[in-house]
C-alpha cells in the first residue's frame, strides 16, 4: 500500500467529494488487511446483499467522513 501514493491530501473541494474520500479510506482499510483483490470480489455478495453488513460499512464511512469533514473545516 505504501508503494503507490493514494492519499496525497484530506482536502476536497466539496462535501460530496469529501464523502467519496471517506468511502475510499474505508476501502483502503479493508485492502490493508486483505490485499488479494480477487478474494475481495468473491466476498462481495457476503456483505453487499446483507443488511447488517451494509450498515456496518456505512458506519466506517461515517467515521472516516468525520475526519475528512474536520480536515476541511466542514467546508465552511
Interface with a second copy (CB under 8 A), residue from 1, 13, 37, 41 = 1
41 binding a second copy? (CB under 8 A): no
State the cell numbers at 2. Answer: 505504501
Q: Which of 33, 32, 34, 51 is nearest to 42 (CA)?
A: 34
Task: For residue 6, give every residue at least 6 positions away whose Cβ sits within 8 Å of its Cβ, in sequence order, or none.
Answer: 24, 28
37 binding a second copy? (CB under 8 A): no
Interface with a second copy (CB under 8 A), residue from 13, 26, 38, 41 = 26
55 binding a second copy? (CB under 8 A): yes
Amino acid at each position: 500500500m505504501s508503494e503507490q501514493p493514494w492519499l496525497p491530501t484530506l482536502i476536497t473541494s466539496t462535501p460530496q467529494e469529501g464523502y467519496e474520500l471517506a468511502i475510499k479510506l474505508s476501502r483502503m482499510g479493508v485492502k490493508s488487511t486483505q490485499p488479494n483483490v480477487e478474494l475481495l470480489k468473491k466476498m462481495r455478495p457476503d456483505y453487499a446483499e446483507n443488511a447488517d453488513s451494509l450498515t456496518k460499512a456505512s458506519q466506517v464511512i461515517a467515521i472516516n467522513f468525520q475526519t475528512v469533514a474536520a480536515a476541511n473545516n466542514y467546508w465552511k
